[in-house]
Structure 1
Amino acid sequence: MRSLEGSSIINNKRAIVVGIPGVGKTTVITRAVEMLNTQGLNARLVVFGTVMFEEAMKMGVKHRDEMRRLSVEEQRRLQENAAVKIANMKDDVIIIDTHLFISTKEGYYPGLPLHLLNLLKPTNLILVAAEPREILNRRMNDKTRQRDLVDEAEIAHELEIARIMLASCSILTGAPFAIVMNREGRVDEASHELANLLTDRRAR
Structure 2
Amino acid sequence: MKLGIVTGIPGVGKTTVLNTIKEILTKNNAKFIIMNYGDYMLKTAIELKYVNNRDEIRKLPLNLQRELQLEAARNIFRDASSLGDGLSFLDTHAVVRTPGGYLPGLPKHIIEILQPQVIFLIESEPEQILKRQSNDKTRSRTDYSDPSVIKETMDFARFSAMASAVLVGASVKVVKNVEGDPAVAANQIISSL
**1:138-168 CA distance string (max 9 Å, x none):** 1122222222263222211111111111111
CA displacement at 1:130 relative to structure 2: 0.6
Shift of 1:103: 1.2
1:21 counterpart = 2:10? yes
Q: C-alpha root-mean-square deviation of aligned residues, in Å?
A: 2.7
> Based on CA coordinates, which of the two structures has the bigger radius of gyration?
1
- Report the 3-state secondary structure (helix = DSSP H, G, I; strand = E; otherwise coil) of the residue aligned with 2:38: helix
Q: Secondary structure at the match of 1:17?
A: strand
Distance 2:70 2:189 in 1: 31
- The total of aligned residue pairs comes to 184
SS at match of 1:40: coil
Tell me the percent identity.
Answer: 31
Aligned to 1:163: 158
CA distance in 2, matches of 1:77, 1:195: 27
Q: What do residues 62-106 of structure 1 show as CA deviations (whole Å, max 9, x unaligned)?
A: 878269689748536523432442352225100011222221222
**1:114: Cα distance to partner?**
0.8
Aligned partners of 2:106 and 2:161 also within 8 Å: no
2:35 to 46, 51, 66: 46
Q: Using the TM superposition, name which of 64-73 and 99-108 deviates more.
A: 64-73
Match status 1:187 vs 2:182: yes
CA contact (8 A) 1:52 1:82 kept: no
> What SS does the corresponding residue of 1:65 show, helix, strand or coil?
coil
- What corresponds to 1:139 in structure 2? 133
- With normalisation by structure 2, the TM-score equals 0.82
Answer with 127-136 or 75-84: which moved more: 75-84
The answer to whether the aligner puts 1:174 opposite 2:169 as a matched pair is yes
TM-score (norm 1): 0.78
Distance 2:177 2:125 in 1: 8
Contact 1:83/1:119, CA 8 A, preserved across alignment: no
Task: Tell me which protein shows more helix as a share of its residues.
Answer: 2
Change (3 A) 1:161 1:61: same
Gaps in structure 1 of 5+ consecutive residues: 1-11, 199-204
Q: 1:63 to 1:183 in 2, by over 3 A?
A: farther
Q: Distance in 2 between matches of 1:76 and 1:39?
A: 33
